[in-house]
Amino acid sequence: MSKVRAAITAVAGYVPDYVLSNAELERMVDTTDEWITTRTGIKERRLLKGDLLGSSDLGKEAVNALLEKRGISAEEIDLIICATATPDMLFPSTGNLIAHKVGAKNAFAFDIMAACSGFIYSVTTASKYIESGQYKKIIVVGADKMSSIVDYEDRSTCVIFGDGSGAILLEPAEDDLGIQDTIMRSDGSGWTHLHQKAGGSLRPSSHETVDQKMHYIYQEGRSVFKFAVTKMADVSAEIMERNNLTGDDIAYLVPHQANKRIIDATAQRMGVGPEKVMLNIHKYGNTTNGTIPLCLWEWENKLNKGDNIILAAFGGGFTWGSIYLKWAY
Ligand code: UT7
């Protein structure tokens, strides 16, 4: 019997309405549209405004749209994996909250926390549940309300991040399409360069941690850039090599959207031209676990059955990884 593979059978995305433009950021911090555009490629990003709305509210929108698109009910879902770096609460998991909000009564749910690589880790994990033969319909939802941990007085981070979510449905593949290969890597020594200092068990929240702004993203941009630019390219080239693929074989690279310069370096290393690179960083910034599914959602109409697609990400931890799949519809 041939191996059961997992295929993406539907995609949906959601971004909130509020647009935070570079022009507005110029009025908030000491920055310029020119600096942001040339250093990152970002023009605007979306923010989730309103009280008591969290990443689960972003994720819920994408999952509901996904179910409607595929024409199935929430009760048919076996498992929801939520990739998030900004959970609504430390517990219960945001996946649990999304399952409840969409009415996925028969699903079990959990979160995967791997910073910006969470979506790659989650799709890989979900694919193994499908390959086991025991589960038939799994949703992976990447959802991040990055604005909840961004210091809008820190110009080095507030220009980068945005809020958004994307969801995919994974089902057993037909015709040997779907996920062909995955690579996941991590290196915990990189934690010092990108983290949130307080709010966990190491440094529980206190007046002092709030006063010292320890609940915001701390990033040493230049160090992270150096690792990201090599590791994301390495892991994309590695998955191509071990599957005997050249740039000509690839229909699309779907890169995590952290910085256009990192994306360009990855594409160059893979030998794929800019026309084959999914890019929405100019509109949404870095939505962490939302970037890859939001790209797939926006490019869905251009994809053809059998297309060779590479997903790749690099994030805090450090974490990084790639997925090679054949588009299934
Ligand atoms: O998604 C998870 C993983 N994260 C990443 O992959 C992010 C990787 N890092 C990056 O994308 C880039 O490092 C950043 C976009 C974060 C920063 O770009 P950079 O070219 O590495 O700039 P830098 O941090 O080296 O700073 C260069 C200069 C500094 O001024 P001095 O020290 O040279 O006088 C900064 O203070 O740019 C300054 N700067 C800014 N200037 C205007 C930093 N942020 C801004 C800003 N506007 N918003």
Domain ranges of the chain: 6-176, 179-326
Helix (H, G, I), strand (E, B) or coil at 289: helix
Those residues with Cβ within 8 angstroms of residue 210's Cβ, 6 or more apart along the chain or in another chain: none
Does residue 233 surpass a pLDDT of 90? Answer: yes
The CA 156 to ligand 1 mean position distance, Å, reads 6
- The chain-wide mean pLDDT, for the chain, equals 97
pLDDT given at position 198: 98
Amino acid 171: pLDDT: 98
Q: Are 77 and 107 in contact (CB under 8 A)?
A: yes
Q: Are 110 and 95 in contact (CB under 8 A)?
A: yes
pLDDT at 260: 96
Residue 11, SS3?
Answer: strand
Kindly report, residue by residue over 31-58, the tens digit of the pLDDT.
999 999 999 999 999 999 999 999 999 9
For range 257-283, the mean pLDDT? 97
Q: Quote the percentage of the chain above a pLDDT of 70.
A: 100
Q: Does the pLDDT at position 257 exceed 70? A: yes
Tell me, what's the pLDDT at 183?
98
- Is 322 a residue whose pLDDT tops 70? yes
| Span from the CA of 50 to the centroid of ligand 1 (angstroms) | 29
Ligand 1 within 6 A of 230 CB? no
DSSP result, 156-175: HHHTTB-EEEEEEEEEE-ST
CATH tag for 179-326 (out of 3.40.47.10, 3.30.750.24, 1.10.287.3240, 3.50.50.60)? 3.40.47.10
For ligand 1, say whether the CB of 286 is within 6 Å of any of its atoms.
Answer: yes
Query: Is the fold of 6-176 the same as that of 179-326?
Result: yes
pLDDT in tens, 176-211: 999 999 999 999 999 999 999 999 999 999 999 999
Q: Tell me the best of 32, 39, 45, 287 to mutate to test the pocket of ligand 1, counting ligand atoms within 8 Å of each CB and taking the most.
A: 39
The pLDDT-based confidence of 227 (bands split at 50, 70, 90) is very high
Q: Which atom of ligand 1 is nearest to the CA of 25?
A: 48
Pick the CATH number of 6-176 from 1.10.3720.10, 3.40.47.10, 3.30.505.10, 3.40.50.300: 3.40.47.10
Ligand 1 centroid–CA 222 distance in Å is: 6
Residue located nearest, by CA, to atom 5 of ligand 1? 258
As annotated, the active-site residues are 116, 256, 286
Q: Which residues contact 265 (CB under 8 A, 6 or more apart)?
A: 229, 232, 233
pLDDT (0 to 100) of residue 2? 75
Regarding the beta carbon of 35 and ligand 1, being less than 6 Å apart is answered yes
DSSP letter for 193, please.
G
Mean pLDDT of 161-184: 97
The closest alpha carbon to 196, from 315, 96, 110, 19, belongs to 315
Q: What is the mean pLDDT of residues 75-93?
A: 98
Quote the ligand 1 centre to 103 CA distance (angstroms): 42
Looking at the chain, the whole-number percentage of residues with pLDDT higher than 90 is: 98
Cα separation, 232 vs 269, whole angstroms: 10
What is the pTM for the complete model shown?
Answer: 0.98
Least confident piece of the model among 89-93, 171-175, 235-239: 171-175
Confidence of residue 1 (pLDDT cuts 50, 70, 90): low
The C-alpha atoms of residue 303 and residue 188 are separated, in whole angstroms, by 36
What value does the mean pLDDT take over residues 120-143? 98
Mean pLDDT of 267-285: 97
pLDDT per residue over 5-24, tens digit each? 999 999 999 999 999 999 99
